[in-house]
Structure 1
Amino acid sequence: MTFNTLTYFLFLPAIYLAYFFAGERARWCVLLGASLVFYAALRVPYLLAVLALVALATFWCGVAIGGARELAAKRRLLWAGIGIDLLTLVGMKYLPFLSANLQELARLLSVDAGIPQVHPFVAIGVSYYVFQAISYLIDIYLEIEEPERHFGYFALYLCFFPKLLQGPIERAGDLLPQLKQKYQVNRENLRIGALLFLWGLFKKVVIADRLGSYVDNVYRDVHAYQGLQLALATYAYGFQVYLDFSGYTDMALGSALLFNIRLTQNFNSPYLATSIADFWRRWHISLSRWILDYIFKPLQMQWRSGRNWGTAAALFAAFLVSGIWHGAGWGFVVWGGLHGLYMACSVFYRPYQKKIYQRLGLDKSRAQHVFQVFITFNLVSFTWIFFRANSIQDALHVVREIFLDTRVDLGNLYRAILPFAGDFTSVSHFLNLVFFFGVYWLVRKKEVARLELSYVVIISLFVILLGRFNSTSFMYMGY
């Protein structure tokens, strides 16, 4: 069951009605039961077992850390809980990747290591609630939060269904108090929640999935396309992944608002960022905060004697972890490494940045802002090649073609645009694009909450008439 299916369109109001009519003491049971049913609807029984293991281990370790008096005991319990959570994540998500790479290494060394082949598991949602569980334990250890002693509320905190499959990655101090608050009907939250859900659905089924058909065709066989075609597909993918993921987040936030629960806003116009650091303040914000607080800051403190070099190394390591977290594949490692390299280089570039712009006469000018956005967008787009390509070999081919193919003629341009334009050249699809960017600009200026009824009706019509519901999965569900 995903947000863009008829099943979920029936599931959400049914759960809301059950929640509304349930007694105050039973409402958490309704949400927890709904979350388990939502996860079980994926029809992968062991996912529920993995969720139960993480929830029980983390809950017990959290209570034990809170009750321990000696620092050494607290530390042992912390690492025990983190160890169980990480081993669960590695076993579910990375064991097949590690097995395949060890087999390849043994083959290259002509060694018969007897490494068994491990078939991939379905691990939807595991990365998100494991990271959430780890942050919970660390916050208790650092005495930022008190341990939750009600297992039902704790389990609901981990698996609340709107954010279960793709986040946001919520902190205990933000979400747990909201799960315990007394429910009162808030018509404004109901209205904004419905608008957010509709807007997210529009981004997903009308735009992202339509872009995806072109991107998939090109990246399925990159050797059949030339540089300009590959560049266009890469830019299209950048918008596809943003609209797909931010569309999911909007629907998650909208679903949660029905129950007066506010989840973390995960996106803030990331492609208008003026630097890679600014991009990560706007993109997948809950993960960026997690990486900053639980990986970068501890490493920066550990390596502080290295000054700028220590900070650069901590940034590179943190973003390498981010890449590995996204998936078991070398493309994700390279993607995270590139972002880490960008961030590490910025440590040394930043002191000279202002002087360079001053000498060029661009300091604090509109031209400087546009230039920074342009450069940042293209640096990010370059990394998407490795994120999307089916293999490192395919990614390197795309890079070579984009940068070495100098055939920029009208025929080449026509061949590049034709497969993409075929899905948008009809009048209705052209109006669809124009309307999307018009509404998107309105939303940026006025926010979804201030959309007028006429816009809501038009968005609904576009979803019904132009939405693609044949693809039910979201891109980040596999990461």
Structure 2
Amino acid sequence: MFFNSLSFAVFLPIIFLLYWFVFSKSKLTQNGLLLLASYFFYSCWDWRFLFLLLFSTFLDYYTGIQIENSDSKKKRKIWFWLSIGTNLGFLGVFKYYDFFALSLSNLLSNVGIKENPLLLHWILPVGISFYTFHGLSYVIDIYKSRIKAEHNPIDYALFVSYFPLLVAGPIERATHLLPQVKEKRSFNFQQAKDGVFMIVWGLVKKVVIADTCATYANAIFDHYESMNALSLALGAVYFAFQIYGDFSGYSDMAIGISKLFGLELLRNFNYPYFSRDIAEFWRRWHISLSSWFRDYVYIPLGGSKGSKVKQVRNVFIIFLLSGFWHGANWTYIAWGFINALYFLPLLLRNKNRSNIEVISLKWNLDSVKVILSILMTFVLTCLAWVFFRAKSITAAFDYIKRMATNGIFQSQYLANRRYNYEILILILIFVSVEWNNRIKQEPISGRFSILRLALCFGAILALGTYSDYKAFIYFQF
């Protein structure tokens, strides 16, 4: 059940009406309804994996209590590592086993040892990376005595399984979401109105921008051998906006949907393509994942303390893990490695915290430098996205090589019989709107909000049937 599907358009109003008009008497009934709705939502993907979600939820709920109640450090460690090991074990088996088996087989074949690896060919449970990280952060925080264990099983299960964020984030923290879950919610018209605006803007990003860009990006990447330099460059740009519109659109919809039920989720994107360097980009892109790795891996490793050698080591560990988190493919690891290389000069010159303030432009030379920095960062990001999108590292290098050496900058027709630069007009309009929205809390709010809402609906209806690419990219992670 996708957020942009007709089935969800039926599902959401039903749950909303039941939530506020039938089950609003107590926190218990509110949470019970949301939990049942979440399990139904998840079972629509594949009901068999619901049992895995239930097991993971029970494991972390039970071990969290045992860690808190243990009277010795040894017992705390045993329960802690039982939870961590089991969670990572399930994630490893479902997501990475075949990758490691094939990689080992290929390595052995290169030295003359041939074998047929035993592959599982298991379907990846949707959202497993997200709800696993929810549970991991919860258990780690209890072990580090940052929070108390949750003894109400319904409240904890809802924290892990809450349907707006269950399959593609944001990756929530118990310190942020659980206190809200434990309180009865009252209907807030302004909050619900803001939620509707967020949902509509998320649909614009997904349906109008991401799905339209996907039509062109797929045509170019799937036939890159026959494309000239201009088309290849445009293909990288189209994919950059496809993945941004797709993932940030989902996050906006998740945040907006949650507002309808009186719960606030963490912000996941903060206009990353307006970043002035790669460090700022990663503070603005997939914020919940970046901050998760920062708090639970980077800082425990020493963070930015210690020698430069250790700092460099920590940076590469974080970026490689981030790439590997996205999927069992060497292209994702290469993407993480490239971003680590981008980050390295900033770290070595202590410039990785330079651009913290909000961007503002004036008619002076400094603004020209800011614009050039934004463009350079975007170009570097697009080059890295080529590795993220390509089917193999070899294909990614070939793509970039052809883009750099082809030398032909003429318009090309694609298989769908459209010029592959027509969408640039739509992208420019979108970038202008995003730039105007960068200092706002809600993208459509303010003066003429009803007119903006009508224009968004018009764009969704006009382009909603243009592309048959409807799935969300991050559902595969």
2-structure distance, mates of 1:114, 1:417: 40
Does residue 452 of the first structure (1) align with residue 449 of the second (2)? yes
Residue 4 of structure 1 is matched in structure 2 by: 4
2-structure distance, mates of 1:142, 1:236: 43
Does residue 440 of the first structure (1) align with residue 427 of the second (2)? no
1-structure distance, mates of 2:186, 2:145: 31
Change over 3 Å in CA distance of 1:435–1:454 after alignment to 2:
farther
Residue 466 of structure 1 is matched in structure 2 by: 463
SS in 2 for 1:41: helix
Write out per-residue CA displacement over residues 69-128 of structure 1, whole angstroms, 9 at most, x where no aligned residue. 222321222111110100011111111211222222232233255531221423210000
Change over 3 Å in CA distance of 1:78–1:420 after alignment to 2:
farther
Check the 8 A contact 2:412/2:420 in 1, yes or no. Answer: no
Change over 3 Å in CA distance of 1:477–1:353 after alignment to 2:
closer
SS in 2 for 1:415: coil
How many angstroms does 1:27 deviate by?
1.2
> Which segments of 5 or more consecutive residues in structure 2 lack a partner in the other structure?
355-363
The 5 A counterparts of 1:387-466 are 387-405=388-406, 407-408=407-408, 412-415=409-412, 422=419, 425=422, 436-446=430-440, 447-448=442-443, 449-450=445-446, 452-466=449-463
Check the 8 A contact 2:228/2:410 in 1, yes or no. Answer: no
2-structure distance, mates of 1:94, 1:476: 16
Change over 3 Å in CA distance of 1:364–1:182 after alignment to 2:
farther
The 5 A counterparts of 1:188-207 are 188-207=190-209
Check the 8 A contact 1:313/1:344 in 2, yes or no. Answer: no
Residue 475 of structure 2 is matched in structure 1 by: 477
Change over 3 Å in CA distance of 1:140–1:473 after alignment to 2:
same
- Amino acid paired to 2:41: F
Q: Which moved more, 1:388-397 or 1:118-127?
A: 118-127
Change over 3 Å in CA distance of 1:239–1:435 after alignment to 2:
closer
Alignment RMSD (CA, Å): 2.4
SS in 1 for 2:350: helix
Change over 3 Å in CA distance of 1:166–1:233 after alignment to 2:
same
1-structure distance, mates of 2:10, 2:66: 41
The 5 A counterparts of 1:206-355 are 206-300=208-302, 304-305=305-306, 307-350=307-350
SS in 2 for 1:413: coil
Q: How many residue pairs end up in the alignment?
A: 461
Does residue 27 of the first structure (1) align with residue 30 of the second (2)? yes
Change over 3 Å in CA distance of 1:290–1:352 after alignment to 2:
closer
2-structure distance, mates of 1:36, 1:352: 42
Does residue 367 of the first structure (1) align with residue 360 of the second (2)? no
2-structure distance, mates of 1:323, 1:30: 36
The 5 A counterparts of 1:105-144 are 105-113=107-115, 115-144=117-146
- Amino acid paired to 1:367: V
Residue 357 of structure 1 is matched in structure 2 by: none
2-structure distance, mates of 1:414, 1:423: 7
Check the 8 A contact 1:214/1:420 in 2, yes or no. Answer: no
Change over 3 Å in CA distance of 1:441–1:370 after alignment to 2:
closer
How many angstroms does 1:353 deviate by?
12
1-structure distance, mates of 2:338, 2:129: 21
Check the 8 A contact 1:229/1:416 in 2, yes or no. Answer: no
Change over 3 Å in CA distance of 1:322–1:430 after alignment to 2:
closer
TM-score for both structures, normalised by structure 2: 0.91
Change over 3 Å in CA distance of 1:167–1:422 after alignment to 2:
same
Check the 8 A contact 1:232/1:416 in 2, yes or no. Answer: no
Write out per-residue CA displacement over residues 293-326 of structure 1, whole angstroms, 9 at most, x where no aligned residue. 111111126x955x11111110110110000000
Change over 3 Å in CA distance of 1:418–1:366 after alignment to 2:
farther
2-structure distance, mates of 1:262, 1:421: 42
Write out per-residue CA displacement over residues 376-411 of structure 1, whole angstroms, 9 at most, x where no aligned residue. 111111110110001112111012112223x24xxx
How many angstroms does 1:249 deviate by?
0.7
- Amino acid paired to 1:285: I
1-structure distance, mates of 2:352, 2:34: 53
Residue 386 of structure 2 is matched in structure 1 by: 385
How many angstroms does 1:436 deviate by?
3.8
Aligned sequence identity (%) = 32
